[in-house]
Amino acid sequence: MIPALRNIPKSYSKAAASLLQPIYGRQTGGPQLPMCGPNLQSSFAISQGTDKCKTCTQTCTSGIRTITTNQTDEKPALAQVESIEKSQMEHFNLDTESLKKLNPSVSETITVHPISAVDIDGTKIKLTLTNGETLRYPTVWLRDNCQCSNCFNPLALGRSFLMQNLLSAPEADDARLSDAGDVEIRWKDGHESVFKAEWLQRRAFTEQARQKYRSRFSLPKKQWSHGHKVAEFDYPSLMEDDAALLRWLVVLETWGATLLKQTPSQPSAAYDLCERVAKVKYTHYGIYSSVVNHPQANNLAYTNQTLNLHNDMPQYQEIPGLIFLHMVKQHRGEGGDTIISDGLRAAEYMREHYPQQFETLVTTDVYFWDKGEGKDQMEMNQFYKINKGPTIQLNNSGEVSTIRFNNQVRDSHLDLPDDKVEDFYHALQIYFRLMYDNSVSFKMQDGDMTVLDNVRCQHARQSFEGDLTARHLVTTFMSWDEALCRRRRLQEQFKL
Amino acid sequence: MIPALRNIPKSYSKAAASLLQPIYGRQTGGPQLPMCGPNLQSSFAISQGTDKCKTCTQTCTSGIRTITTNQTDEKPALAQVESIEKSQMEHFNLDTESLKKLNPSVSETITVHPISAVDIDGTKIKLTLTNGETLRYPTVWLRDNCQCSNCFNPLALGRSFLMQNLLSAPEADDARLSDAGDVEIRWKDGHESVFKAEWLQRRAFTEQARQKYRSRFSLPKKQWSHGHKVAEFDYPSLMEDDAALLRWLVVLETWGATLLKQTPSQPSAAYDLCERVAKVKYTHYGIYSSVVNHPQANNLAYTNQTLNLHNDMPQYQEIPGLIFLHMVKQHRGEGGDTIISDGLRAAEYMREHYPQQFETLVTTDVYFWDKGEGKDQMEMNQFYKINKGPTIQLNNSGEVSTIRFNNQVRDSHLDLPDDKVEDFYHALQIYFRLMYDNSVSFKMQDGDMTVLDNVRCQHARQSFEGDLTARHLVTTFMSWDEALCRRRRLQEQFKL
């Protein structure tokens, strides 16, 4: 039950496993594991009395000794590496086949079989297809979705038939196959409906047809772990080439993480990309926000301290779906590395191996808050956000839909009885550790832009040294509503 | 189990109840109820062969006879009228007491009792207050929330203590009451924390303290039904007077519906109010959208047809929290009345009386879609939104958090096996009927603006006659994130 730890020399692994028990296995009394060091990929800390911390630059009041490790060939248990090969990425052309190869779900193509028979079967209309398949459509759904110009507005593409006129089980007097192969229905009240064979088969109530449309809504996600190669794209080509833009949006939606190169140095570059896709998302930090050291910082991002893995802005009910981290200017000294993690992978691992603690994170609402005064013209003068939501949020299908993990803005108010608090922290710490086990790190260069699915992936920053303006990162947000909208439109543009 | 129907003369009520059974009681074979007429408050329809519909102006293909009713003194079962008296609203001044009277939860004031004793009690610190109360704080929470300047950034108001340094059960060597009445803790690793008595009591793990903070996050909602008087405010005073702005935001959050008078006629008036509060919410229809008849309408709102009760924009994952309906110019003829309903009231009624159908609406995801081309400069060129979510969404506390009901943009794709479809429609029709039973209607005048909690309340429009530009309504949206943020800041401004 104790997962293998990454980057720990073999000689340490047994001791490390025993040290981890207080967190993973919840045994009390033994030695405890304070995880120190801004980047757990290259260092691993154990409690060791009062030594001074060697890795993190902030004062470490608890006194921690860090063991820096070398690369090891020990295969980590978590690392099911599913990477997009860079060479593969570079040679993609946007013909139908290459994009299908990248993500087979992106295409809307279906095979339509002619209808061979139409029958009334109680409160359903039964279709028999030429391939032998039988499809059943409830009459209440058919009447509700009549496509005639009185019931459906072909310009607005919206239903004009009113629910007040919908009988609970409309009766069909007659249902038959037309010469053109369509389904014609005459209702008891005299109204007539005609449905095309393709239209009906796209909306079949079979698992297969429903799955097809689910991927129109949202592409299936592929999980990644330690060792994942983050897919790279060139910023200029995204700004000029619709095919490249679609490829990038598909990869971003599928994998949750991309790295853009050659981003121009103006602070509005990410904003410009958002507006090219659709629309930027405003937050109280403005339409984009320069993350530089502020002497009177209203956010911990504006310091040179370590930031642990986190999702941005969970203090918003409408937590931004995508985050753009644009490195306008990287500082020249040590530190400041970017660490990213696929929180979906960590959550699914946790669901499997720590079901009870997973359930705790799914059912426990956490408050996040952010209160401050605007520091520059773009920011709101005064803000005071509070939001609550679970660390791991599931949708009605049981899929992970939103992850909220942010130690900086997690509220000190905790809406739990005192005897539930320790279990909650225990679960949170396991998830924290799994995120790090799962992570990859790199140092962004000038002109790099990391773009993440912010309700899925976490990012972190090593502490760094340097003068207050040594490093200039710009943060911008976009909503998935707009990104998905553009992806679907581009799919149509390229007839996918 | 069959709720009483509003506005039906006594002599009709028995017949009406029997007619309703196919929807409410799910008996098949009997006569069915097609609900016709744009405003069910003043009319009630029964299926009656092929008569022409007398109330709704659109062609009614099913042929419906409308029975127009007079006012009745029959008390409806649904109408637990909880109204804000208009006279009361008019005389509110924003002193602490009047706002508390309006909503007692708005105030952050608490009674702080001095601490008389501090003890270590296993993995908790126990406080005894002078009023005899005992409060317990887990050490893991205390260490995580140390307020010293190393662990908590007093400028950013964020936690700088890292989770990687948090032991799973930090041990306190000593915990004691300081001369100043604070709690001082010395941890085993030598770190020291000081907590103020008030700070701790605000964060007590008692139900009372947690309830207090819940209402800081979101004010308790008061439900309303038929007969409710919608609270009125003057637009000019909201734009000038912070006290009036706070009063309006509190009423809007609590009741979900307000009516503003004396709104100036420029189409940007609602946008201007949003920007006065905080920020408008962009949608693909722009920052505000003129709902006038379009010959090539890309949305059914841009026609003169009846729109049934609906929430706006459920095709967005981030469905806008607030909707502003600004009547720049009302047409001068018949029809066009506004109907609004407290969907929360209908949902709670449904939870109590139709638990099985309520569960169906909670657990069944519905797709909403919106595809089109921009019609004016402010709109996005091309849009293609799809979202899925339940009709009634509950949060982790079991409270109704979001309602999505919109027949116009409800997708024809339905992600259910065919044998579940009829049950879903049945549940949807019950909810539809309850919303109407619950509704109030009024005809907006030039300069009126209806502002609604759009994830709670529904609105509808009667069909109307007149030339294509006879009626000019402007729709604008705002997010609850920004509205709640401003409410909290104004509370502080007025020391509430």
Residue A211's contacts (CB-CB under 8 Å, 6 or more residues apart) are none
Contact B34 A64 (CB under 8 A): no
Match 């296993």 to its residue by tokens: B122
The mean pLDDT of A449-477, rounded to a whole number, is 89
Tens-digit pLDDT profile for residues A253-310: 999 999 999 999 999 999 999 999 999 999 999 999 887 766 666 666 667 778 899 9
What is the least distance, in Å, from the CA of B260 to any CA of chain A? 25
Tens-digit pLDDT profile for residues A159-179: 999 998 997 779 999 999 999
pLDDT in the model for residue A294: 63
- Rounded to the nearest angstrom, the gap between the alpha carbon of residue A308 and the centroid of all alpha carbons in its chain is 18
CA-based R_g, chain A, Å:
27
Over 70: is that where the pLDDT of A233 sits?
A: yes
The mean pLDDT of A413-431, rounded to a whole number, is 97
pLDDT in the model for residue B373: 87
Mean pLDDT of chain B: 82
What is the Cα–Cα distance from A303 to A468, expressed in whole angstroms? 8
Contact B153 A383 (CB under 8 A): no
Task: Give me A480's structure tokens.
Answer: 């998935």
Over 80: is that where the pLDDT of A238 sits?
A: yes
Q: Which residue of A has its CA nearest to B479?
A: A318
A124 backbone dihedrals φ, ψ, rounded to 5°: -130, 155
Domain A115-217, CATH: 3.30.2020.30
Match 């979001």 to its residue by tokens: B402
Please list the residues that pair with B366 across neighbouring strands.
B389
Nearest to B203 among A23, A305, A413 (CB): A413
Best of B413, B437, B439, B458 to mutate (most A CBs within 10 Å, chain A): B413
Contact A158 B318 (CB under 8 A): no
Which residues of B are less than 8 Å from A384 in CB distance? 485, 488-489, 492
The mean pLDDT of B404-433, rounded to a whole number, is 97
Task: Give me A287's structure tokens.
Answer: 């339409």
What is the Cα–Cα distance from A272 to A260, expressed in whole angstroms? 14
Which residues of A are less than 8 Å from B213 in CB distance? 367, 413, 415
pLDDT in the model for residue B40: 33
Nearest to A163 among B138, B395, B429 (CB): B429
> Between B281 and A215, whose confidence is greater?
B281
What is the least distance, in Å, from the CA of B384 to any CA of chain A? 5
What is the Cα–Cα distance from B437 to B435, expressed in whole angstroms? 6
Which residues of B are less than 8 Å from A202 in CB distance? 413
Q: Where in chain B is the domain with CATH 3.60.130.10?
A: 220-493
A307 backbone dihedrals φ, ψ, rounded to 5°: -115, 120
Residue B300 binned pLDDT confidence (cut-offs 50, 70, 90): low
Residue B322 binned pLDDT confidence (cut-offs 50, 70, 90): very high
pLDDT in the model for residue A305: 79
Nearest to A318 among B190, B191, B481 (CB): B481
Kindly indicate whether the domain formed by A86-90+220-493 is annotated with CATH number 3.60.130.10: yes
Q: Which residue of A has its CA nearest to B308?
A: A162
pLDDT in the model for residue A291: 76
pLDDT in the model for residue B99: 76
Of A422, A430, A470, nearest to A446 by C-alpha is A470
Residue B231's contacts (CB-CB under 8 Å, 6 or more residues apart) are B84, B86, B89, B251, B255, B257, B258, B259
Q: Which residue of B has its CA nearest to A33?
A: B167
pLDDT in the model for residue B14: 36
Residue A378 binned pLDDT confidence (cut-offs 50, 70, 90): confident
What is the least distance, in Å, from the CA of A149 to any CA of chain B? 11
The mean pLDDT of A428-432, rounded to a whole number, is 96
What is the least distance, in Å, from the CA of A83 to any CA of chain B? 28
Which residues of A are less than 8 Å from B161 in CB distance? 407
Task: Give me B117's structure tokens.
Answer: 């004793």
pLDDT in the model for residue B4: 35
Mean pLDDT lowest among A450-464, B91-105, B204-218, B267-281 = B91-105
Tens-digit pLDDT profile for residues B129-180: 999 999 999 999 999 999 999 999 888 889 999 998 997 779 999 999 999 9
pLDDT in the model for residue A226: 87
Residue A468 binned pLDDT confidence (cut-offs 50, 70, 90): low
The DSSP code for A8 is -
Tens-digit pLDDT profile for residues A389-407: 999 999 999 999 999 999 9
Of B320, B340, B255, nearest to B475 by C-alpha is B320
Q: Where in chain A is the domain with CATH 3.60.130.10?
A: 86-90+220-493
CB B106, CB B100: distance < 8 Å: yes
Contact B422 A390 (CB under 8 A): no
pLDDT in the model for residue B297: 66
Tens-digit pLDDT profile for residues A313-341: 999 999 999 999 999 999 888 888 999 99
Over 70: is that where the pLDDT of B287 sits?
A: yes
pLDDT in the model for residue A10: 30
Q: Which residue of A has its CA nearest to B64?
A: A165
pLDDT in the model for residue A304: 74
Over 90: is that where the pLDDT of A443 sits?
A: yes
CATH superfamily entry for domain B220-493: Clavaminate synthase-like (3.60.130.10)
What is the Cα–Cα distance from A468 to B342, expressed in whole angstroms? 53
Residue type, A344: L
Contact B156 A386 (CB under 8 A): no
Match 């079991």 to its residue by tokens: B398
CB A405, CB A340: distance < 8 Å: no
CB B234, CB B262: distance < 8 Å: yes
pLDDT in the model for residue B294: 63
| Chains A & B: contacts with CB separation below 8 Å | 329
Tens-digit pLDDT profile for residues B22-60: 455 443 333 333 333 333 332 333 232 333 333 333 333
ipTM of the complex: 0.85
Mean pLDDT of chain A: 82
Residue type, A381: N
pLDDT in the model for residue B279: 94
Over 60: is that where the pLDDT of A191 sits?
A: yes
Element (H, E) at A308: strand A307-310
